[in-house]
Amino acid sequence: MSCIKGVDTLTAFRLAAEAGSFSRFRSAPAFASWCGLVPSERSSGESERRGGITKAGNALARTALIESAWHYSTCSPRPKAPAPGTDVPPAIRSRADDCTARLHRRREALAAAGKSACKANAAVARELACWVWEIGCRSEGT
């Protein structure tokens, strides 16, 4: 996970420790929900009303993802250089590079749409949670 921009060794360790095993979540949205990064909903009949993030999940994982997402407001879309002495499988490295490019584009699109910085950051953090889940499952071999 530390191949993703904004996620360093300590953040990757925190996310892995809090999640335990990423394969215990059936999908990426389930992991994002566990982190409390999904929008709340107050719907009745045909009307749909969505609110802010639920914050009903794991506070430590959510905080780590929110802090990591702030990097995408100023970073470049270039992939993160691997740490010296690390051996990352090419498939995981490729997905981490895709993640960095996708989140950078997403953050720019939200800013261009006029979204506030905090709302854009929460949206990027939710998508980052989905990428973390995928890379976590790949590293576990599932």
8-29 pLDDT, tens digit per residue, is 999 999 999 999 999 999 999 9
pTM of the predicted model, to two decimals? 0.91
Residue 65 covered by a domain: yes
Residue 1 covered by a domain: no
Q: Domain span at residue 51?
A: 9-77+85-140
Total structural domains within the chain: 1
Residue 94 has phi, psi (to 5 degrees) of -65, -45
Is 142's pLDDT higher than 80?
no
Residue 2 covered by a domain: no
Residue 4 covered by a domain: no
Residue 28 has phi, psi (to 5 degrees) of -65, -45
Tokens for 98? 């895709």
Element (DSSP H or E) covering residue 39: strand 39-41
Residue 26 covered by a domain: yes
Interval 98-116: pLDDT, tens? 999 999 999 999 999 999 9
Residue 22 covered by a domain: yes
Residue 63 covered by a domain: yes
